[in-house]
Amino acid sequence: MTDNNIKLTFPSIFEETVRKFGDHNSYAFVGEKPRTYLESAREIRALMAFLEKSGIRPVDKVALLSNNMPNWSSVYFSITFMGAVVVPVLPDFSANEVGNVLMHSGARALFISSSQLSKIADFQSDQLELIIQADDYSVISPSEIQLRFDPSAEPAGRYDVNEDDLASIIYTSGTTGRSKGVMLTHRNICFNAMKGKVIQPVDENDRFLSVLPLSHTYENTLGLLLPLLGGACVYYLRKPPTPSVLIPAMAEVKPTIMLTVPLIMEKVYFNKILPTFTEKKLLKLLYGIPFLRKKLNAVAGKKLYQTFGGHLKFFGIGGAKLNKSVERFLLEAKFPYAIGYGLTETSPLLAGANPSKSVFDSTGPAIEDIELIINDPDPKTGEGEIWARGATIMKGYYKEPELTSQVLTHDGWFKTGDLGVFDAKGNLYIKGRLKNMILGSSGENIYPEEIESVINNFRFVVESLVIQQKGKLVAYVHMNMEELEKKYQNLKDDMTRQYELKKEELLIELQEYVNSRVSKFSQINKVVLQPVPFQKTATLKIKRYLYV
C-alpha cells in the first residue's frame, strides 16, 4: 500500500484493501467469527443507503458514541465514505460532556451503543433528528419513523470524497478543561497511518488486539486505519480490559500488534513483576546489582511475552510518559515495546521508532515526511517547545478560529505545547507540558512530570501529582491502600492510631526518598495523601487542571 497513486481518502484505501484482501478477516470480538473485508464493505454500503434514507448528506455531522466493536468501523466508514463528517465521542465522557459535544458539533444523527444510552436520557435538541443503536442499527428515535436497516441495500448516490475534505471532528477530553473539536481531514489520518506502516510494516497475517477507545485518535489512526492498510484483522473485547479479561483474550488471539498507554504496563510491572524480586531479602539484594538485574529481567521478560500470547512483534506505548523503571525493565527484558509521541491535533503520530530501534527515555525520531523543531531552545539545555509541520496537522478547532490561531502559525507550524530536546541522532526526548512547567524561585525550569516519575517508583505509590502551592512544591500521592493494609494488618488490628502513624512515617520516608534523587530546586516541601484515584483522560493522563 505504498502506491503513491492511491488517493488519501478512506473510501479509496478501503477499496484497495478489499481488492487485495477481500477474503481475509477484518474485525471481530475475541472468541467470535471475524467478518471478512468483503463482508465489511457490504455492511458499509448498506449503512450508507440507510443514512441516505434518513436524510444525511455530505458535510452533515454524525456522532458515534460507542464502546469498541466491529460495528464501530462500519458506522465510521459509512459516514465518511459519503462525505459526511463523523464525530467520535469518548465512551468515558460524562452525560454533560456528551451533551456539549452533540450541541457544539451540530450532529444531525447519533449512533450509540446500548451501554451508553443512559448518557443521553435527558438530552434534548432540535438539531439531533435521529438516534440509532450501534449494536444492531435499530432506530431509537424518533420512534414513529418508518426507517429500517436493510443489509442488502445499496446507496443511491455516488460520492466524490477529496483528500482535504473534513473526515472527523474529535473532541479531546484533554487535561486543560474545556473540550475542543479537532478537525481532521481524510489526508491527515490516512497519511499518518501510512507513515505508521513505515515504522511497523503490517500485513494480512497480523492480528491487532484493541484495548483503547476507538474514538481516541491514537487507536483510531493506528488501531483502525493502520491494520486496514495491510489487510490485518482487529479483535475487540466485550468487557473492559481488566487482567481477568485481557489475559485469556491474549492467549486466544495471540496478537502480533497491540497499542496501549503507559498505565497498563506500569500496573503489570509494579503489581506483578517487581514484587517477585523484592519480597525476599536475598533476591532484593541481587536485583539491586545491575548485571544480575538484567539477567532476572530477561527471565521475567520471557514469561511476560508468553502471557501476551507469545507472538507480539510491536507493543506500542503512547498517550503519556512511561515510567523510567518500567521502560528499563522492558528494555532489559527484550520485550518488543515502542514509544510514540503525538497529539490529537496531529492525527496523532509525530515521532516514533520500531521496537528494534527503541532508545531509552526517547520517543525516537520524527516520523517520515514530518518536520519537528524545538522553537526558541534554551541556550544551555537545548530544551524548548516542540513545533510540528506536515500533512498530519489538523485543519483547526471547530468553530474556534481564535483558539486555532493561537496554536497554528501562518506558515503551517503547530505549537504542541510540549517541551522537548533532540539528541545528536535526532531522537526526541519529552520533558513535559509547557503549561505544567513550574518556574523555581531562582528562575529554574522545574518539570513536575520528572519528579512524579521518581515518586511513582516508591513502594505502594500508584500515581502522583506535583503542583506548586505558595511557592513550594507539594506532592499529592495516591497509594495502593490494599497493599498497605496487608503490610500493616497487625497494626491496624491492634490500634488505628498506630496504623495512622505508620502511614505518616511512610509519607515522610517518601519525601526523603524523592528529595535525595532530585535536584535542589525540585525538592518536595510536603507530601499529601490522595485518598481516591485522580480523574483521568482517555489515555489515562491525570486531569491536572482539576487539582491546581
**Residue pLDDT, tens place only, 276-332:** 998 889 999 999 999 999 999 999 999 999 999 999 999 999 988 899 999 999 999
Q: Could you tell me the end-to-end alpha-carbon distance of the chain, in angstroms, rounded to an integer?
A: 47
Residue 162 lies in a domain: yes
Amino acid at 179: S
Would you place residue 528 in the very low, low, confident or very high pLDDT band (cuts 50, 70, 90)?
very high
- Please check whether residues 19 and 144 belong to one and the same domain: yes
What three-state secondary structure class fits 333? coil
Identify which has the larger pLDDT, 9 or 6.
9
- Under 8 Å between Cβ of 200 and 314: yes
Amino acid at 152: S
- Please check whether residues 41 and 80 belong to one and the same domain: yes
Could you write out the three-class secondary structure of 217-254?
HHHHHHHHHHHHHHCCEEEECCCCCCHHHHHHHHHHHC
Would you place residue 483 in the very low, low, confident or very high pLDDT band (cuts 50, 70, 90)?
confident
- Please check whether residues 43 and 112 belong to one and the same domain: yes
CA distances from 7 to 80, 164, 283, 400, 418 (A): 14, 11, 58, 29, 32
pTM above 0.85, yes or no: yes
The CA distance from 373 to 386, in Å, is 6
Mean pLDDT of 119-132: 94
Task: Supply φ then ψ for residue 461, to 5 degrees.
Answer: -80, 130
The CA distance from 404 to 396, in Å, is 5
Identify which has the larger pLDDT, 47 or 271.
47
- Please check whether residues 460 and 431 belong to one and the same domain: no
Residue 177 has pLDDT above 50, yes or no: no
Identify which has the larger pLDDT, 175 or 365.
365
What three-state secondary structure class fits 543? coil
- What is the DSSP code (8-state) at residue 118? G
- The CATH code of the domain that includes 43 is 3.40.50.12780
Residue 2 has pLDDT above 60, yes or no: no
- Please check whether residues 459 and 540 belong to one and the same domain: yes
Amino acid at 160: D
Domain end call among 135, 155, 185: 185
Would you place residue 5 in the very low, low, confident or very high pLDDT band (cuts 50, 70, 90)?
confident
Amino acid at 128: L
Out of 318-327, 494-503, 509-518, least confident range: 494-503
Predicted pLDDT at 536:
87
- The CATH code of the domain that includes 365 is 2.30.38.10
- Please check whether residues 144 and 45 belong to one and the same domain: yes
Residue 217 lies in a domain: no
Would you tell me the crossing angle of helices 70-81 and 37-53 to the nearest 10 degrees?
Answer: 60
- Please check whether residues 376 and 466 belong to one and the same domain: no
Which neighbouring-strand residues pair with 338? Answer: 316
- Rg (Cα) of the chain, in Å, rounded? 24
Residue 417 lies in a domain: yes
Residue 492 has pLDDT above 70, yes or no: no
| Residue that has been written with the C-alpha cell 477484518 in this structure | 26
Residue 373 lies in a domain: yes
| Residue that has been written with the C-alpha cell 473485508 in this structure | 37
Residue 306 lies in a domain: no
- Please check whether residues 410 and 465 belong to one and the same domain: no
- What is the DSSP code (8-state) at residue 119? G
Residue 411 lies in a domain: yes
Predicted pLDDT at 38:
98
Residue 88 corresponds to which cell in the numbers above? 467520535
The CA distance from 402 to 385, in Å, is 20
Out of 75-89, 176-190, 197-211, 228-242, least confident range: 176-190
Residue 442 has pLDDT above 70, yes or no: no
Residue 1 has pLDDT above 50, yes or no: no
What does the pLDDT look like over 20-63, one tens digit per residue? 999 999 999 999 999 999 999 999 999 999 999 999 999 999 99
Which of 320, 214, 305 is CA-nearest to residue 266?
320
Residue 109 corresponds to which cell in the numbers above? 444523527
Residue 434 has pLDDT above 90, yes or no: no
The CA distance from 158 to 153, in Å, is 14
Domain end call among 185, 209, 226: 185
Range of the domain at 76: 10-185
Predicted pLDDT at 427:
97
Residue 297 corresponds to which cell in the numbers above? 529481567
Mean pLDDT of 103-118: 96
The CA distance from 201 to 230, in Å, is 8
Predicted pLDDT at 243:
87
DSSP symbols for 167-197: EEEEE---SSSS--EEEEEHHHHHHHHHHHH
Q: What is the largest CA-CA distance in the chain?
A: 76
- Please check whether residues 408 and 369 belong to one and the same domain: yes
Residue 484 lies in a domain: yes
Which helix (DSSP H) or strand (DSSP E) does residue 414 occupy?
Answer: strand 414-422
Domain end call among 185, 211, 234: 185
Predicted pLDDT at 497:
63
Percent of the chain with pLDDT over 70: 95
- Please check whether residues 452 and 413 belong to one and the same domain: no
- Please check whether residues 407 and 458 belong to one and the same domain: no
What three-state secondary structure class fits 536? strand
- What is the DSSP code (8-state) at residue 343? -
Predicted pLDDT at 175:
40
Residue 530 CA from chain centroid, whole number: 25
Out of 45-59, 400-414, 474-488, least confident range: 474-488
- Please check whether residues 397 and 501 belong to one and the same domain: no
The side-by-side arrangement of strands in the sheet containing 349-352 is: 35-36, 25-29, 233-236, 207-210, 257-260, 314-317, 337-342, 349-352
Mean pLDDT for the chain? 92
Which neighbouring-strand residues pair with 371? Answer: 389
Which of 457, 532, 451 is CA-nearest to residue 270?
457
- The CATH code of the domain that includes 513 is 3.30.300.30
What is the total count of domains within the chain?
A: 3
Residue 244 lies in a domain: no
